[in-house]
Structure 1
Amino acid sequence: MGGLWRLGVVGFVVLTIFYICLSLYSRAKRRDKLEAEWDNEGMSGDRDAFIEQGLQDYDGSLRRKLIWGVYIIPVTIVIALIYFMNFH
């Protein structure tokens, strides 16, 4: 039972680090795209407000929610492996 707890804690820490890195990377790429869109289209007005509005839209997007799969998919696979190796 101690091995399972250790696996859970280490797995949670590793997945959290991976989630944070992936989330920051995805947000940075979105910011880069918004900056490039501003520069290419020659928009007028407040550039920072445009980027912040785009990032707020990104925070509610499907892509942002799909990053939670970093937790869901590996945990589901480990649970399925444990179940099938012990009960089938």
Structure 2
Amino acid sequence: MIGLLRLAVMLLIALTVIYWALVFYFRAGERDRLEEEWQRDQPPLPRDTFVENGLRSYQGSLRRKLLWGVYILPIGAICTLIYVVNYA
């Protein structure tokens, strides 16, 4: 039982590190895209305001929600594997 608890804690720590690395990576990519769009279109807003408004709308986007797959897929796969090995 202690081994399972140790595995779960280490897995959650590793998945959290991966999740935050992906969040920062995708956010930096979105920021670069918004800055390029501002350079190309030259809207009346200042660049910082334009980028912050774009990042605020990005917070609820599908890509950000899909990052939760970092947690759900590996944990689901491990639970399925445990079930198949022990009960099938």
User: Kindly, what percent of the aligned residue pairs are identical?
Assistant: 49
The residue number in structure 2 matching 1:63 is 63
The residue number in structure 2 matching 1:33 is 33
Instruction: Output the amino acid matched with 2:52.
Output: E
Structure 1 CA distance for aligned equivalents of residues 45 and 57 of structure 2: 19
**5+ unaligned residues in a row in structure 2: which ranges?**
none
**5+ unaligned residues in a row in structure 1: which ranges?**
none
Instruction: Output the amino acid matched with 1:80.
Output: T
The residue number in structure 2 matching 1:21 is 21
Shift of 1:44: 2.8
Instruction: Output the amino acid matched with 2:73.
Output: I
Structure 2 CA distance for aligned equivalents of residues 50 and 40 of structure 1: 13
Deviations 1:13-41 (A, max 9, x none): 00000000000000000000000000112
Deviations 1:28-85 (A, max 9, x none): 0000000000011222321111100100000011111111110000000000000000
The residue number in structure 1 matching 2:48 is 48
The residue number in structure 2 matching 1:82 is 82
How many pairs were matched up? 88
- Structure 1 length normalisation: TM-score? 0.96
- Structure 2 length normalisation: TM-score? 0.96
Instruction: Output the amino acid matched with 1:86.
Output: N
Which runs of structure 1 show a deviation greater than 4 angstroms over 4 or more consecutive aligned residues? Answer: none
Q: Which shows bigger deviation, 36-45 or 54-63?
A: 36-45
